[in-house]
Amino acid sequence: MITGNIDGKIMVRRWLVTFKPFRIFVVGIGFFSLCFLMTSLGGQFSAKRLGDSPFTIRTEVMGGVESRGVLRKISDMLEVILKRMDSLSKLDNSTTSDTRRLDELSSAINRFQPAGLVERIQAIAQNVSNMAVRVEQILQNSMAAGRAVRDGSSGQCEVPRDPHYPDCPGKVDWMRARWTSDPCYAFYGVDGSDCSFLIYLSEVEWFCPPLAWRNHSSPPTVHTHTHQTTTTKRQAAFRTDLSSLLDQVGTGKESLSFMKRRMRRLASQWGTAAQRLHSKLRQRWREQKKILVHVGFLTEESGDVFSPKVLKGGPLGEMVQWADILTALHVLGHNLKISMSVKELQGFLGVPPGRGSCPLTGPLPFDLIYTDYHGMQQMKQHMGLSLKRHKCHIRVIDTFGTEPAYNHEDYATLHGYRTNWGYWNLNSRQYMTMFPHTPDNSFMGFVSEELNDTEKRSIMQNKVNNMAVVYGKEASMWKLQQGKEGFLQILHRYMEVHGTVYYETQRPPEVPAYVKNHGLLPQHELQTLLRKAKLFIGFGFPYEGPAPLEAIANGCIYLQPKFHPPHSSLNHEFFRGKPTSREVSSQHPYAEQYIGRPHVMTVDYNNSQEFDAAIREIMSTKVEPYLPYEYTCEGMLERVHAYIQHQDFCAPEAPFPPANSSSSKLGISSLGSPGPQFVLLPNSSALTWAPDASAPSAWPPLSSLRLLASQEGQSCVEACQQANLVCEPALFRFVNNKEALRGLEVQCEVVEAEVNHVFPAFSVLRRECSLQKDPLLYSCAGHSPKYHRLCPCRDYRRGQVALCRDCL
C-alpha cells in the first residue's frame, strides 16, 4: 500500500484525511512494521487477536547487540513517521509539496521494510479501520477513569463486598479473564480496568451495586420482564389497504414474491372479514401492539432452502402461513415491523455488536415478537442474556407442535425428550401451530379462499364426475408408489388422473404414462383445475399441508390413506427429532377429525376392495364446497385478535389455591370433605366450576371448564375429544389441587407434588394421587399406563376450536 508511486500517495492521503483517529493508524503501521522487522531479523513476535477487540501485542527480542541495533533502526523509523504526522494530517489536495513529503515518508519506510511487509500491512489496515472508532471510545473511557482517579474516586473501583450483590466479586473476576472474548464489552466501554468492569456490571448488567461517584441523573437500565414505555396506549383500528404491508415485505426473493401475490389475491376477502369482525366486536376498544415479525427460515443465515424451490414444486405451506400471519396482524391495526435477515433483527432489537454476551439495555421495543425455530436460534445467538428476560413476548410459529415434555430443557434432558428443537422453557401456549392438533400449543392456522354462493353453484354444475387430481407436486412424492401401483391402477379404471408435477424439459419418469401431467401450475390455474375435479387424492405425503383444505373449499372430495400403525417420532424418519410424540393416523388428521365424511374419506390403500368401494362411493356422492370457519379470513382475524388481547405470558399468575389456604398444603392422608369449587354437570361425569364459587380471573374463563378423569393410559387430548371437548392447558392450575380430586371422588392415601409431565393424575390400584410441581409441565399430551389423568377440558365455539364460547 505504501510505495513510491502516485497510487500509494493518493491512498495514504485518503486514509489520513478520512479517518478521524489518523494518529492511531500511523502508529499502528509503525507497530506492525516493528514486529515484522523483528521477525525477519531473528526476533520472535507474537500478536494474538482477542475476539474483535484491539490487538494485544507482545514482543520477545532474542540476542543482545543485534536486538539493540534493530530497536535503534525502528526507533529512527518511528521518529521520521511521527515528525511527519502533523503535516500529513493536513493534506487536502494533491500538490508538489505533498508529493515530496509522501516520497520522503515512502523512502523512510522502504529502507526498513522486509519482504512482504506491504501485503501484510494492507490486510492489517482493513482491521485498523474497523477498530478505529472502538479504540477511540476505549481511550475516552480510559481518560474518564483516569479523571476519576485524579478526582479521588479511585477507591470506588475497589470490588464491593455487598450481601445484596453476592455475585459481584465473581463476575469481576470473570470479566478480568474474559472481557476480550466478546466485542460487546468494549462497545459498552469496558477497557480492562476494574472501574470499567464495575460500571458495566452495575449499569449494563445487574450484578454489582451502583457506583456512588457515577452520574445517575439518567434513568437506570430497565431489567424487567414486561415491555415498558412512557407513551400512552393507542387504539388499534382495522385496515383494509395492504399497500404499506406489501412495501414492508420487500423484494429480491421468489418466496417474498409468492407471499405478496397471495396477499394481493386475498386482499378483498381480508377487507370484508375486517368489516365483519368490527361489527361483531361492537367497536370494543383494542390496544394497538408493537409487533416484530422475524421470519427466520427465510434468512440467508439459516440457509433459506425454500426460496429457490418456490418455482420448482417445493413446499409452500410455511410461506402461505407467514403471508397470512403478516396480513392478519396488519389488518387488525397493529404497529408492525418485518425482519427477513439477522442484520434487520439486530437493528430492530437494538442488539449491541458482538457475540451475544451482553444484554439489551432499556425496555424491549416490542410488545410481541413472532418468529420460528430458526429465528429463536438467531435471537439466542445475538440477544444473549436478554432472551431469557424477554422470552415471554415471543410467539413461535411451529408447524408440527411442541409438547411440554420436550419444551422443558432440564426435564427433556433427564427423561429422553431432548431433540434438536424444543427445550426453550416457554409456556407451551407460546408455540403456535398450523392445525389444532396439539392443544398444549395455540392454534395459529392460515386461510383458504372463501367462495360466495354464486361461485359454489357454478362449481357444482361444472364438476367432471370422473376427474381426479393427485396431491404431489414433486416427482419424489410419486416414488412412494413404486411397487405399490395397485391403488392407482384401480383409480385409473374409474377416473381420468391428473397431476401437477414439476419438470423442466422431460416428463418425470416417476409419473405413470396414463396420468395427464400439467406441470407446476400458478395458483389461479390450480384453482381452475380443482373446481373441475371431483377427487383430490393424497399419497401419504406431505403431511398436514394447506392443499387438501383448498381442494375441499373448491368442491373436491379428499381421499387419503390411513396409517397402520400411526406415524410418529418413534417409528417414522420424518417425525424423528421433532419435539412431539403425537401419533399421526392419516396424511391429514385435521381433515379426518374435524371435517370428515362426505368431504373427507380415509381408507386403507393396501386393501384393494376398500379402496375400490371408496372410489365408487365418491363418484356417486355430491358435495358442496366447504371451508371451516376457522380457516376463513374472518376466523383467523377473530382468533389472532383474541390471542393478542388476552394471552399475557409476562404477567405473573397468582397461585391457586392461594398459598395460605388449607387446600394448598400437601401430604395429608385424607382429602376431607368435598370442596365447594366444583359441581357435577347434569347427565355427565364431568365437573364444572360452581356458579356460586369465587372465580379467579383467567382466560379462557372458568365458565368454560369441564373437569374429567381420563382412562388409564389415556391422554387428556383423547379424554376431552371423547366428550366433544378440547383440553385447555391454561386451566390446569385450577384443577391441580385436592378439591379437584375430591370432586371426582378419588380415594387417596397420600397426595404429593412431583415434577412429571403426566401429573396431575391418580392411581386407583395404589390409591396414590400426584399433583404437578412445575407449571411448565402441565401437559394435555402426557399419558401413562399407570395413571388416570385429571383433565381440564373446555367447550369451544362452532367452527373455531381455538376459542371457548365465552372467549371472545
- Positions of E strands within 641-724: 678-680, 687-689, 705-709
Is the four-CA dihedral 114, 119, 121, 127 of positive or negative sign?
negative
**pTM, 2 dp:** 0.78
Measured CA to CA, the distance from residue 762 to residue 746 in angstroms comes to 8
Q: Which cell numbers in the block locate residue 758?
A: 403426566
DSSP β-bridge partners for residue 369: 292, 394
pLDDT for the residue 693 = 80
pLDDT for the residue 221 = 44
Q: Which residues contact 125 (CB under 8 A, 6 or more apart)?
A: 1, 15, 25, 29
Measured CA to CA, the distance from residue 160 to residue 211 in angstroms comes to 10
Report the run of H or E that residue 267 belongs to, with start and end: helix 267-281
In this structure, are residues 366 and 345 in contact, taking their beta carbons and an 8 Å threshold? no
Measured CA to CA, the distance from residue 668 to residue 672 in angstroms comes to 9
Three-state secondary-structure class, residue 763: strand
pLDDT along the chain (808 residues), means of 10: 38 39 43 42 35 34 41 50 47 44 48 46 46 48 49 63 94 95 92 94 92 66 44 90 96 94 97 96 93 96 90 89 98 97 93 85 91 96 88 96 97 94 94 97 97 96 96 85 72 96 90 94 94 96 95 98 94 93 96 97 95 96 97 98 97 70 42 62 89 86 96 97 96 95 93 96 94 97 96 96 95
In this structure, are residues 529 and 464 in contact, taking their beta carbons and an 8 Å threshold? no
Three-state secondary-structure class, residue 605: coil
- From residue 91, alpha-carbon distances to 29, 265, 328 in Å are 19, 60, 58
DSSP β-bridge partners for residue 772: 754
Q: Which residues contact 608 (CB under 8 A, 6 or more apart)?
A: 486, 487, 490
**Could you write out the DSSP letters of every residue in 354-384?**
SSS-SPP-SS-S-SEEEE-HHHHHHHHHHHT
pLDDT for the residue 13 = 38
Three-state secondary-structure class, residue 223: coil
Residue whose cell numbers read 376450536: 801
Closest CA to 526 of 499, 560, 559, 491: 499
Measured CA to CA, the distance from residue 722 to residue 460 in angstroms comes to 34
In this structure, are residues 792 and 727 in contact, taking their beta carbons and an 8 Å threshold? yes
Residue whose cell numbers read 366433544: 724
Q: Which residues contact 654 (CB under 8 A, 6 or more apart)?
A: 696
Is the four-CA dihedral 502, 506, 507, 509 of positive or negative sign?
negative
In 10 A of CB 576, how many CB atoms? 11
Q: Which residues contact 216 (CB under 8 A, 6 or more apart)?
A: 210
Three-state secondary-structure class, residue 65: helix
Q: Which cell numbers in the block locate residue 693?
A: 364459587
pLDDT for the residue 354 = 83
Closest CA to 762 of 745, 781, 775: 745
Q: Which cell numbers in the block locate residue 192?
A: 480492562
SS3 letters for 144-195? HHHHHHHCCCHHHHCCCCCCCCCCHHHHHHHHHHHHHHCHHHHHCCCCCCHH
Widest Cα–Cα separation across the chain:
105
Cα-Cα-Cα-Cα torsion 472, 474, 480, 481, nearest 10 degrees, comes to 60
Cα-Cα-Cα-Cα torsion 251, 252, 257, 258, nearest 10 degrees, comes to -130
Three-state secondary-structure class, residue 390: helix
Q: Which cell numbers in the block locate residue 420?
A: 434438536
In terms of Cβ atoms closer than 10 Å to its own Cβ (0-12, 13-18, 19+), residue 231 is: exposed
pLDDT for the residue 271 = 97
In terms of Cβ atoms closer than 10 Å to its own Cβ (0-12, 13-18, 19+), residue 252 is: exposed
